[in-house]
Amino acid sequence: MLLAVMSNSVLGQASLPAALDEFLRIQTQGLPGKVSYGVGQLDQHAQNTPCSAFEPFLPPGGRLWGKAMVGVRCLAPKVWTVYVPVQVRITGNYLVTARQLIPGQVVASADLRTQSGDLGALPANVVTDPAQAIGKTVRNGIAVGQPLRSDLLTAPWLVQQGQSVKLLSTGAGFTVTNEGKALNNATEGQIAQVRTASGQVVSGVARSPGVVEVSY
């Protein structure tokens, strides 16, 4: 299924370049940093073929980041489609490692430094906000000076296997607390299994450090 984003202003443009420019302007508004874009050579046959309604769209899995491809579909009087290469440049700040990070290390502010450049030339999951990294755990080793990516980090454990945790059981009109031992690790929102003092194993959701919520 094609991911089409339309508006009356886009469809009402009198030429393919104008429709494409309007689409790119709208779709890049939410990107971080200062955005500029360039459009590759347009198909001359498509430009010269009569069309009264253009529908720009992103192909499945496409994203306006760095080198990309945008489709433009003519809806009338005759249906046809052309694909146009575009280059999206995003000037902004991103994070790089200030020192080598090892697996299992918890990221601190001193481990990071800010660098400015073209985000469009970097992976789309590059980290741009320190809040997205500080307090998280490093999955694999990262060399000094490397752009930090979100897939290299994991959320901190709120509950760790063998830890004594508080069970918070809630239901209609009641809240009961209990103690137990965690049987697995869990980050925020993940399921944690807990063995109570009586030996019963219950499942709940890790909500805060050392707290597992069980709903009835």
From the list 120, 39, 119, 115, the residue with the least C-alpha distance to 82 is 39
Q: Which amino acid is at 113?
A: R
pLDDT beyond 60 at 7: no
Q: What is the pLDDT of residues 166-205, one digit of tens each?
A: 999 887 778 889 999 999 999 889 999 999 999 999 999 9
Whole-model pTM over 0.95: no
* Overall average pLDDT of the 38-62 stretch: 90
Residues 148 and 179 both lie in one domain: no
Q: What is the pLDDT of residues 109-162, one digit of tens each?
A: 999 999 999 999 999 899 999 999 999 999 999 999 999 999 999 988 899 999
Please give the residue range of the domain that contains residue 199. 163-213
Residues 74 and 97 both lie in one domain: no
Residues 139 and 169 both lie in one domain: no
Q: What is the pLDDT of residues 13-46, one digit of tens each?
A: 568 999 999 999 999 998 888 999 999 988 888 8
Identify each DSSP E strand in the chain by its residue range: 3-4, 34-39, 53-58, 66-76, 80-97, 112-118, 137-138, 153-154, 164-171, 174-182, 191-196, 201-208, 211-215
Domain-located, residue 127: yes
Residues 67 and 125 both lie in one domain: no
